[in-house]
Structure 1
Amino acid sequence: MAPPAGRLRWHHCAAAEVKNEPILEFKHGSPERAALQKALEDLKGKTEEIPCVVGGEEVWTKDVRYQLSPFHHSHKVAKYCYAGEELLNRAINAAMSARREWDLKPVEDRAQIFFKAADLLSGPRRAEILAKTMIGQGKTVIQAEIDAAAELIDFFRFNAKYALQLQHEQPISVPISTNTMVYRGLEGFIAAVSPFNFTAIGGNLAGAPALMGNVVLWKPSDTAILSNYAVYKVLQEAGLPPNIIQFVPADGPVFGDMITGSEHLSGINFTGSMPTFRHLWKQISEKLERYRTFPRLAGECGGKNFHFVHKSADIESAVNGAIRSAFEYSGQKCSACSRLYAPDSLWPQIKARLLEEHGKIKVGNPVDDFSTFMSAVIDEKASTSRLLQGRVSSDCAAC
């Protein structure tokens, strides 16, 4: 059924006007700084209770966990629970019960939800999502702003814009034949497995498939529960119906076994470690006869980012770029510079300036001091990993 003409025109107009979300500066005296400081104050010492959400119902299991603030370990920012096998099976059934109706809903209606969610994040929910990303994931104000606000808003708006445009991409027809492409969701559920380091990735891994007519099981990272649940609630507030996205924190191996063991698995949308994605891929390959369709796997596993400095480069620009890339958010992202190639002619100057700027890096609590440049790594496991990487780098430099 085609949507009313007036609504269709509104969507075309909205899509045509989509622009990148402006990045706010949070200067002293600015309204956004005041709003964020209030949101941060409201969260101090608070533990938010976050259930699994299955079939539109909030469910608590006996496997209760806590998310700790990475720079204030005594602060339990969230109390949540793991979904076990029984609850994950319920989530799959609930998702499948809603799949057909959601897939048949006009894309204009689905896009409307994501446009509204972006508006909520841009306006009344911005301070909340930033504060929860800062306290829960240890991000500085600027790192939270470019992630949990600007990038996530852009994901929702541009995804919706392109989903609307895609409907008009049709194969060529020549007399006497007419060729038509129908865009529809997959005939099963999508498993969205999201990481801790970008709130935006969580919203996008679960949101993009839902926008395109799919039902989703969203397993957020244990160390990003607080912010990811806030994104989930924003989608609900924007009109996302129950059962379209099931919010199911879970033990990784249990979740992997359940989704790959279901005949209804249609795809995995994943960001995380290479060993985990390889394991999921192997599990699926060993069970191909079980599935109703061939599951689609989309995985982003980071990598080694490098900077290549040309002899004509501006030294200050190269140094500032390298420092920011390598040390912002403690290097916990795929865009973090871990290699720098410089010509012999520039290296003495670059090295001197790198050491000078490195010495100015301010490490601390990003909530109490907005001038903090680098905060704590996400957890003890990450801390051990960083120490080992530092030893390897020092040994290599000595060689």
Structure 2
Amino acid sequence: MSVPSANLAHFKIPAVTNEPMKAYGPNSVERAGLQAALKQLRSHAPLDIPCIVNGKEVRTGIIEKQLMPHEHKTVLCNYHNADHTLVAKAIDGALAAKLDWENTPFNDRAAIFLKAADLASTKYRFTIMAATMLGQGKNAWQAEIDSAAEMIDFWRFGVKFAEELYGVQPPQNSAATWNRTEYRPLEGFVFAVSPFNFTAIGGNLAGAPVLMGNVCVWKPAPAATYASYVVYEIMREAGLPAGVIQFIPGPAPEVVAQVLKHPEFAALHFTGSTHVFRKLWKDIGNNIEHYKSYPRIVGETGGKNFHMVHKTGNVTSVVHNTIRSAFEYQGQKCSACSRCYFPDNLWPEIKAGLVKAHARIKVGGVEDFHNFAGPVINQFSFDKIKGYIEWAKGDAESEIIAGGTYDDSVGYYIQPTIIVTTNPKSRTMTEEIFGPVVTIYVYKAEEYEKTLHLVSDSSAYALTGALFSQDRYATVLGANILRNAAGNFYINDKCTGAVVGQQPFGGGRASGTNDKAGSAAILSRFVSPRSIKETFVDLEDFVYPSNLV
């Protein structure tokens, strides 16, 4: 039974700004702290990670291993998969927790997420970063911007955006009436399916609906199980009640099929592959008659993201932004640059710059802070990316000008690879690779407008893109033609690195529903507004004034 509580008539949340980034430079306090956390985590591996259902740890004995991708003979954790019975118990438990949670005043829900953000910023910062580095193959900088800064920003700005959403109320009231809007949580439960590549995404996929009063069943990616578990533990320590989020690692086909057949399924919050998202959408459609309401479907999927350069582009900026965007975190970002269009007047200088910069990239284990790039996530990914590289080696229209080697003897290492093609619609220019491979097409500088249309029309995806130009008219033309080619569009900057509260993230076409994570827009997808009109003066007669004689 829901317990009555006092409600504040009005309150303002603390001022919210982006989490300050730590640099982890040589001899810094933060580097020492992170290195100690890495050492401690390694000494405790392999950890034993349970499911969490109704606030209790459940060990099913159905064990899977999460390996360290930079050292794949080492097991980071053994985690327990949920079985059919436990999934059913998790759904029932979430629904049982629903009434108390949705009746919890917003200020109390907000306090939990603000506390979680502060815990992640302080007590758990190095712990969650170490989990992300050893488990998902990120270097210190990439772990900092993901599992620390971005996750903290998601939770803090989520509270700010929720406050703003609740504040959107009818602007007019007729005489003797009061109109207001209630932002109800959805009927039923939300199913969150999170990816391996961003720890912060897991915290947001489960956290955003829960902040709005929903309950959530969360299935993390196998390759991010331990970091996701730490995220859950942070939220639990911050005061999240038992059952509000059910943490159930498990085999995707079985868990998803069971969840999507449940009549109380209310929403899908998903980040992952386009193929899987389309399959889930079809499955939801096939079950539509069984649901209490029409489920909300929110998804961010793949990308074939571009850098387009005008003949006036700054070569130094183009080179370094392309290296970063294509190869940071081994190209395993949904937003990573994987196709480039460079004008022939700048190509010799850009090529020389790319090859020179590429030679400075250090690839290796995540515990060596000198390394810019690390491993790809697993054997499947390694084999897939290797296949594209081998294809390019045998393609008459493609030339590898840097990289092109790989080695999985110790970790899943693929050297950052730069391909130049004469075919703008080759496989590596059109298919999502999700690895450290970028393909370049050199166009005639006088065919700028024609090439803009090529960029826009040659991909099924529309997630991120960048335009480099020092000519304002050329920039305006490019921005207009590329309007639907990317949900996040960057001018003279790389196509990665969206910051919560600054660049809400998401794309259209095959890249997803573009509901913009890191904004109030995505929170609106997890509420069902109710319009309330209250009249203060009773109606004395039904007759209209126009009926009078």
Counterpart for residue 243 of structure 2: 243
Whether the aligned pair in 1 keeps the contact of 2:128 and 2:148 (CA below 8 Å) is: yes
Counterpart residue type for residue 64 of structure 2:
R
What is the rounded CA distance, in whole Å, between the counterparts of 1:243 and 1:299 in structure 2?
24
> Shift of residue 212 of structure 1?
0.5
Counterpart for residue 40 of structure 1: 38
What is the rounded CA distance, in whole Å, between the counterparts of 1:95 and 1:125 in structure 2?
26
Whether the aligned pair in 2 keeps the contact of 1:51 and 1:60 (CA below 8 Å) is: yes
Deviations 1:169-214 (A, max 9, x none): 1012232242211011100000000000000001000010100000
Match of 1:23 among 21, 24, 46: 21
Counterpart for residue 294 of structure 1: 294
Counterpart for residue 377 of structure 1: 376
Matched, 1:190 2:190: yes
> Shift of residue 390 of structure 1?
2.0
What is the rounded CA distance, in whole Å, between the counterparts of 1:174 and 1:295 in structure 2?
32
Counterpart residue type for residue 345 of structure 2:
S
> Shift of residue 274 of structure 1?
1.1
Instruction: Give secondary structure in 1 for the equivalent of 2:333.
Output: coil
Counterpart for residue 137 of structure 1: 136
What is the rounded CA distance, in whole Å, between the counterparts of 1:225 and 1:233 in structure 2?
12
Which structure dedicates a bigger proportion of its chain to strand?
2
Instruction: Give secondary structure in 2 for the equivalent of 1:390.
Output: helix
Counterpart residue type for residue 19 of structure 2:
E
What is the rounded CA distance, in whole Å, between the counterparts of 2:311 and 2:105 in structure 1?
54
Instruction: Give secondary structure in 2 for the equivalent of 1:37.
Output: helix
Q: 1:2 to 1:60 in 2, by over 3 A?
A: closer
Whether the aligned pair in 2 keeps the contact of 1:305 and 1:338 (CA below 8 Å) is: yes
Matched, 1:318 2:318: yes
> Shift of residue 392 of structure 1?
4.0
Whether the aligned pair in 2 keeps the contact of 1:3 and 1:108 (CA below 8 Å) is: no
Question: What's the TM-score, normalizing by structure 1?
Answer: 0.96
Counterpart for residue 89 of structure 2: 90
Aligned ranges 1:60-99 → 2 under 5 Å: 60-99=59-98
Counterpart for residue 230 of structure 1: 230
Aligned ranges 1:2-17 → 2 under 5 Å: 3=6, 5=8, 9=11, 12-14=12-14, 17=15
Counterpart for residue 306 of structure 1: 306
Counterpart for residue 161 of structure 1: 160
Name whichever of 309-318 and 247-256 sits farther off: 309-318
Instruction: Give secondary structure in 2 for the equivalent of 1:178.
Output: strand
> Shift of residue 393 of structure 1?
4.3
Counterpart for residue 385 of structure 2: 386
Matched, 1:327 2:324: no
Whether the aligned pair in 2 keeps the contact of 1:111 and 1:164 (CA below 8 Å) is: no
What is the rounded CA distance, in whole Å, between the counterparts of 1:3 and 1:361 in structure 2?
58
Question: What's the TM-score, normalizing by structure 2?
Answer: 0.70
Matched, 1:149 2:148: yes
Whether the aligned pair in 1 keeps the contact of 2:191 and 2:259 (CA below 8 Å) is: yes
Counterpart residue type for residue 20 of structure 1:
N
Counterpart for residue 339 of structure 2: 339
Name whichever of 181-190 and 165-174 sits farther off: 165-174
Whether the aligned pair in 1 keeps the contact of 2:192 and 2:268 (CA below 8 Å) is: yes
> Shift of residue 370 of structure 1?
0.5
Q: 1:267 to 1:13 in 2, by over 3 A?
A: closer
Instruction: Give secondary structure in 1 for the equivalent of 2:155.
Output: helix
Counterpart for residue 202 of structure 2: 202
> Shift of residue 246 of structure 1?
0.2
What is the rounded CA distance, in whole Å, between the counterparts of 1:66 and 1:284 in structure 2?
30
What is the rounded CA distance, in whole Å, between the counterparts of 1:253 and 1:62 in structure 2?
19
Instruction: Give secondary structure in 2 for the equivalent of 1:79.
Output: strand
> Shift of residue 3 of structure 1?
4.6
Matched, 1:105 2:104: yes
> Shift of residue 287 of structure 1?
1.1
What is the rounded CA distance, in whole Å, between the counterparts of 2:347 and 2:178 in structure 1?
63
Counterpart residue type for residue 141 of structure 1:
A
> Shift of residue 314 of structure 1?
1.3
Aligned CA-pair RMSD: 1.4
Matched residues, number: 393
Instruction: Give secondary structure in 2 for the equivalent of 1:267.
Output: strand
What is the rounded CA distance, in whole Å, between the counterparts of 2:388 and 2:179 in structure 1?
56
Which structure dedicates a bigger proportion of its chain to helix?
1
Name whichever of 389-398 and 271-280 sits farther off: 389-398
Whether the aligned pair in 2 keeps the contact of 1:39 and 1:131 (CA below 8 Å) is: yes
Deviations 1:253-275 (A, max 9, x none): 00111111100100000001111
Whether the aligned pair in 1 keeps the contact of 2:263 and 2:291 (CA below 8 Å) is: yes
> Shift of residue 5 of structure 1?
4.2
Counterpart for residue 397 of structure 1: 398
Rg comparison, structure with higher value? 2
What is the rounded CA distance, in whole Å, between the counterparts of 1:166 and 1:301 in structure 2?
26
Counterpart residue type for residue 37 of structure 1:
Q
> Shift of residue 4 of structure 1?
5.0
What is the rounded CA distance, in whole Å, between the counterparts of 2:344 and 2:391 in structure 1?
23
Q: 1:355 to 1:274 in 2, by over 3 A?
A: same
Counterpart for residue 276 of structure 2: 276
What is the rounded CA distance, in whole Å, between the counterparts of 2:145 and 2:16 in structure 1?
17
> Shift of residue 285 of structure 1?
0.6
Instruction: Give secondary structure in 2 for the equivalent of 1:183.
Output: strand
What is the rounded CA distance, in whole Å, between the counterparts of 1:122 and 1:50 in structure 2?
23
Question: Deviation above 6 Å: which 4+ runs of structure 1?
Answer: none
Instruction: Give secondary structure in 1 for the equivalent of 2:182.
Output: coil
